[in-house]
Amino acid sequence: MAKRCPGSRNDTSVGMSRSSESTMYEFLQETVENNMTRNARSVSPETTVGDLYRLFAADGFDAYPVTRGDTLVGMVSKLDALKVFGLSEEHILPRHKEGMATTVDEIMTSDVVAVDGETNLQRVLELMVSHRMKSLPVIDRRHHLVGIIAREDVMKAMERCVMRQYPPAIPFETA
């Protein structure tokens, strides 16, 4: 049996590797600017937990950027909103009325991981994984909120790169 030399016609793994490298190179060129959701919904620091629960139910989002005017000042998640109802040594039973009246500025995370439009998606992916986040706010140089980039946006960009490199043999609509 003859040995296959890397790069020879008999070496099928090289062709796959080059295509994979091409797909990854294309993905590495993708930026937040071309993949983010613009005009992202945000909440103010004065929003109550009760109103926040209604927004979560209506939109299906897991977190919202918190803005004062156009400036990003924090992020608030469903987990943040749930914390006000947790048991503590001071309160044996959660206080529903007080919890629902709590304002976002009392529970939000003010140390926000954010990106700008020029950030590449590979960096976004690294930040999402290392900080265990589903989305990141997108800000301009004045810290004004300009959009949001979610893991679904990163997945769609990867899918586009893969589909250009490996188009399906049968269109999805007819499969």
Dihedral over Cα of 171, 172, 174, 175: its sign:
positive
Buried b (16+ CB within 10 A) or exposed e, 138-164: bbeeeeebbbbbbeebbeebbeebbee
- Which of residues 94 and 107 earns the better pLDDT score? 107
- And the tokens for 58? 């209506």
Mean pLDDT of 129-138: 95
pLDDT of residue 130: 96
| Residue 17 confidence (pLDDT) above 60 | no
Cα–Cα distance, 152 to 136 (Å, whole number): 12
Has domain 25-165 been given CATH number 3.10.580.10? yes
Confidence of residue 28 (pLDDT cuts 50, 70, 90): confident
| Residue 145 confidence (pLDDT) above 90 | yes
| Residue 1 confidence (pLDDT) above 50 | no
Task: Tell me, rounded to whole angstroms, the distance of Cα 173 from its chain centroid.
Answer: 28
DSSP E strands in 100-166: the ranges are 135-139, 145-150
Q: What is the pTM of this model?
A: 0.75
Measured in degrees and rounded to the nearest 5, phi and psi for residue 168 equal -65, 145
Q: What secondary structure letter does DSSP report for 118?
A: T
In the block, tokens 């749930």 appear at 82
Where exactly are the structural domains of the chain?
25-165
